A and B are shown apart, each in its own frame.
Chain A
Amino acid sequence: MDKMPAWADVVLIPIISLILAGILSTLVILAIGENPLEAYKLMIEGALMRSAGWGYTLYYATNFMFTGLAVSVAFHARMFNIGGEGQAMLGGLGVALACLFIPWPHWSLAILGSSIGAALFGAAWALIPAYLQAKRGSHIVITTIMFNFIAAALLNYLLVGLLKPAGAMDPATAKFPEPTHLPTFQDMFATAETPLFRGAPANVSFFLALLACLLVWLLIWRTKLGYEIRAFGYSQSGAKYAGISGVKTIIIAMLISGGLAGMMAVNTTQGEAERLILNMTEGAGFIGIAVALMGRNHPFGVLLAAILFGFLYQGGAELALWTSIPRELIVVIQALVILFTGALDNMVRMPLEKLFLALRKKEA
């Protein structure tokens, strides 16, 4: 029997963690002489009370959904993929190549092509660490993080040399041709009378991310492959006894994970910048780890956690715009939330478990 009811696991722990992070952030803001109430109000108004604010929140959330799903799929096989950053960079390369060198007639086809490109490149980047783990026992944490650096260097080389248009100063590719531009929320929902999502970068790839959440849920809980991944994750020797190949499971789980991380680039590269830029991932690969942890590796949890982190990013930008809180401290506030919801999970969990056990004993 579980130590505590499911609702406490899914709802209570994240909320308590958030409150703790909020209290510490309040102290930080007070310490630099700003008004915390006003700061939170600015964050909420800027991120959630305007349609353009939602446009940014959901744009960031799209990135975090893809990278969060990537981490959680791998984690179901107890593979800790912290190479989402590198896989997303390669995904960006896939998107750029698909958009620049194939003459797409319409965005609906282009997004299919670029998604496949992104997923293939991202998966290919995860394949080598997966192979090394499955066959050679090199630890996946070490290899995936090392591959982030190789990806950064590779992208660097390509953007500075081969893919940069002649005479340009920015290390970036040329702008993608017009037919590959994805419709933004503004194009989709705004009318002449109600200008919604003005200038916000959220685009149609948000729905791609929702679809990815659904597919991952189906994969993990409704297919044989998902069962094998979970079985392997719970007990490698048990899975082997049941006839599940460890090598195959590790490699397939990592390929799916890398592909999902890569697809993040559809949002940033094709949806927002419309060209491949050097720092296109902006750390979303790492935020994905916190998102997956907070979402308990469940696609629905990942969705909610991604929106929370999207809110933090957009709210942080609003703070930077309208207050004199320096950007370094905004990063501190964001980091506190990651710390409490991601890394310090057990700090809240253990006392709660004890509490529930004590209550249960009393009842018995």
Chain B
Amino acid sequence: MTLMTKFLGAAAGIALTAGAAAAEPAMIYDLGGKFDKSFNEAAFAGLTRFSEETGTEVREIELQSEAQREQALRRFADAGANPIVMTGFAFGNVLAEVAPDYPDTKFAIIDMVVDEPNVRSVVFNEHEGSYLVGMMAAMASETGTVGFIGGMDIPLIRKFACGYAQGVKAVNGDASVVANMTGTTPAAWNDPVKGSELTKAQISQGADVIYAAAGGTGVGVLQTAADEDILSIGVDSNQNYMHPGEVLTSMLKRVDNAVYDAMIAGADMETGFNVMGVANGGIDYAMDEYNAELVSEEMQTAVDEAKAAIASGELSVHDYTSDSTCPALEF
């Protein structure tokens, strides 16, 4: 071994141990990648806020293959990263196996429940937020027909659709909701062309407000809705800015807050079941300068009343995943 390689090796060794000692957090993005304009990107936003405020660097990886799920978890845990945050339900099985091997490391998983003593499971009451934007859709609609476009047809997305339909019916019992799913495989999360086609199909059925809960596919929905001059509703991140004056609102799922909270708590993060809903600011609808003209005062009062009622427990929105049925919508 030459002097040069020895020196490099020592430097790398110091760099690695220094990282381990600081117990920095780590972030694992699912296969969709961190720039999906929606779910993973919201997690990235939370991470960015954390590292800008604290000056701490966060280790992150975008997965390339299924076998890497377990590998990334174990390698980060072995290196002393704490806590380790991951996005997506697909980590559930793997985390349940890995977490018991690292009792001193804290894990946070978003959108899935893993029942281990060192895991924080963050789930969102998406049905509550969808209910609120459903009310707004029904009030903004002139035709009495509104649309819903989901990504992959899984119980989670049906939960969005069901909450939305309940919100619509609460305002206008005669309104009809047209609901479509983009597909049945993970490819449905990133198919803007199909999203655009579904939007056109729903418009021809009379829909004039369309809610997209479809990850990257939603980009196509919002674009086509803007082109055809009808209103759309964004999801997860605030997407109002994408087409100013054409996006009625966005259903905010504060994944960024969940990631930020987990990281700022550091190694002392509380574990257990963590429900983010309207009551604790985990779920909301977006108001900003881009949609101010679209939302009337009357509309906002009605929605804020419902929001307060949900937060206080007076109004309960049916959760599709609790019993796999929906009172307001047929799938």
Q: Which residues of A contact B (CB under 8 A)?
A: 37-38, 41-42, 52, 56, 59-60, 156, 160, 167, 169-171, 175, 198-199, 201, 268, 272-273, 277-280, 282, 313, 316-318, 320-322, 326-327, 330-331
Contacts and interface: CB of A to CB of B under 8 A. Distances in A.
B264 interface: no
B67 A56 contact: yes
B144 to A, nearest CB: 33
A175 B92 CA distance: 13
A156 B185 CA distance: 7
A139 B156 CA distance: 45
Interface of B: 5, 8-9, 12, 16, 33, 59, 61-62, 64-68, 70-72, 74-76, 89-90, 93, 98, 101, 154-156, 184-186, 324
Contacts of A330: 64
A42 to B, nearest CB: 8
Contacts of A326: 62
A282 B93 CA distance: 19
B8 A277 contact: no
Given A156-B184, A169-B154, 9 more contacts: A41-B12, A175-B93, A199-B71, A277-B66, A279-B66, A313-B65, A317-B71, A320-B64, A327-B64
Contacts of B59: 321-322
Contacts, number: 76
B66 A198 contact: no
B150 to A, nearest CB: 13
Contacts of B16: 322
Contacts of B75: 318, 321
A169 B68 contact: no
B-side interface mostly: helix
19 contacts: A37-B8, A156-B185, A171-B186, A175-B93, A199-B70, A199-B71, A201-B67, A201-B70, A272-B66, A278-B186, A279-B66, A282-B67, A316-B64, A317-B64, A317-B71, A317-B72, A320-B62, A320-B64, A326-B62
Contacts of A37: 8
Contacts of B8: 37-38, 41
A199 B70 CA distance: 8
B121 to A, nearest CB: 14
A167 B155 contact: yes
Contact of A160 (B33, B61, B70, B184): B184
B186 A56 contact: no
A320 B68 CA distance: 10
Given A317-B71, A321-B61, A321-B72, A199 B66 contact: no
Q: Which of A52, A167, A322, A326 has the most B CB atoms < 10 Å from its CB?
A: A322
A280 B186 CA distance: 14
Given A169-B156, A198-B74, A278-B185, A59 B64 contact: no
Nearest to A155: B185
B62 A167 contact: no
B216 to A, nearest CB: 16
Contacts of B72: 317, 321
B85 to A, nearest CB: 15
A169 B67 contact: no
B155 A160 contact: no
A125 to B, nearest CB: 20
